[in-house]
Amino acid sequence: MAVIKHESRTLRDTEDVVRVRQAVREWAIACGFSLVDQTKIVTAASELARNAVLHGGGGTVRLEALNDGARRGLRLVFEDQGPGIPDVTQALRDGYTTGGGLGLGLGGARRLVNQFDIDSRPGTGTRVVITRWK
Amino acid sequence: MERIPILKMGDNLLVSIQVDMHDRLAMTLQDDLTARIAETRARGVLIDISALEIVDSFIGRMLGNIAAMARVLDARTVVVGMRPAVAITLVELGLSLPGVRTALNVEKGMELIGSRAAGPDGRHQA
């Protein structure tokens, strides 16, 4: 599998969340995603970008266009150096929230993509990697 | 400050969201709408989201909050024009917008809002 193109973006405030949504949309179109697939990865990106801003105190996202033989995909790597998530299993459960939201962000984002990996430790921050294939 | 316009038409308020909203703008809309419902004694609120390319959990929550606040103020909310791709994604995300009435387009949405006047006591028909 090859990364054919990549780009990093900063996530500081909720306006950056909108910018990331737009960037992910452009990349998803360039990857040849269907409208529904575009919408799914943009929505997942919106949830994870907001998490990084609200819970992680800001962070970054790296967009990667992938080529795996005939398959094309889009991988997004969200990283923050925030307080981390003490119990990831609990955080992935629907309805679990610390931020006053609906508690659908992490679990919902996971359902919208093909691959979802999360690495979080208290005190060191959180890294979420999602991939959607065409 | 950036704001989404709220139009008054008879007893109803109309909102058409034409921009990709950041969270603060969504919160401002929620507050503005609630204030306008009370101020104008609106009976119906129609929100057109046909230009929205996504509805994530934050925007979903805003729509739910608006519908709940409007209900408490005796107004009915109808969200119209959701794109099919947005609807598919929303359900997979786990959001079914409980308490939010939806219609396919503005015309059907206005019918829904108008139909409440036909209720036996002219008040809110659940």
- Residue spans of the domains in chain B: they are 6-117
C-beta of residue B26 within 8 angstroms of C-beta of residue B61: no
pLDDT at B122: 44
pLDDT at B83: 97
C-beta of residue B25 within 8 angstroms of C-beta of residue A17: no
Q: Cβ of A42 and B53 within 8 Å?
A: yes
Q: How far apart are CA B23 and CA A16, in angstroms?
A: 11
pLDDT along chain B (126 residues), means of 10: 92 95 94 96 97 95 95 96 96 90 96 69 46
Long-range contacts, B120-125 (Cβ 8 Å, 24+): B123/B74, B124/B71, B124/B74, B124/B76
Q: Please, what is the Cα angle at B118 between B117 and B121, to 5 degrees?
A: 80
Nearest by CB to A43, from B20, B24, B56: name it: B56
Q: Which residue of A has its CA nearest to B26?
A: A14
Using the Cβ of B95 and the Cβ atoms of chain A, whether some distance falls under 8 Å is answered with yes
The Cα of B103 is separated from the nearest Cα of chain A by a number of Å equal to: 20
Q: How far apart are CA B118 and CA A77, in angstroms?
A: 53
Q: What is the mean pLDDT of residues A57-81?
A: 95
Q: What Rg do the C-alpha atoms of chain B give, in angstroms?
A: 14
- Strand duo A59-68 + A2-11: pairing: antiparallel
Q: How far apart are CA B3 and CA B22, in angstroms?
A: 11
Q: Model ipTM?
A: 0.90
Nearest by CB to B85, from A15, A22, A36: name it: A36
Nearest to A47 by CA among B100, B82, B60: B60
Phi first, then psi, for residue A8 (nearest 5°) are -115, 145
Using the Cβ of A8 and the Cβ atoms of chain B, whether some distance falls under 8 Å is answered with no
Q: How far apart are CA A131 and CA B12, in angstroms?
A: 44
Using the Cβ of B20 and the Cβ atoms of chain A, whether some distance falls under 8 Å is answered with yes
Q: Enter the DSSP assignment of B49.
A: -
Using the Cβ of B110 and the Cβ atoms of chain A, whether some distance falls under 8 Å is answered with no
Using the Cβ of B99 and the Cβ atoms of chain A, whether some distance falls under 8 Å is answered with no
CATH architecture of A2-133: 2-Layer Sandwich (3.30)
CATH architecture of B6-117: 2-Layer Sandwich (3.30)
Using the Cβ of A100 and the Cβ atoms of chain B, whether some distance falls under 8 Å is answered with no
Q: Cβ of A101 and B57 within 8 Å?
A: yes
Portion of chain A with pLDDT greater than 70, in percent: 94
pLDDT at B126: 45
Number of A/B CB contacts below 8 angstroms equals 72
C-beta of residue A39 within 8 angstroms of C-beta of residue B59: no
pLDDT at B2: 86
Using the Cβ of B41 and the Cβ atoms of chain A, whether some distance falls under 8 Å is answered with no
pLDDT at A20: 98
What is the pTM for the complete model shown? 0.91
Confidence of residue A101 (pLDDT cuts 50, 70, 90): low
pLDDT at A91: 85
pLDDT at B124: 47
Distance of CA B71 to the CA centre of its chain: 11
Q: Which residues pair with A77 in a beta bridge?
A: A62, A129
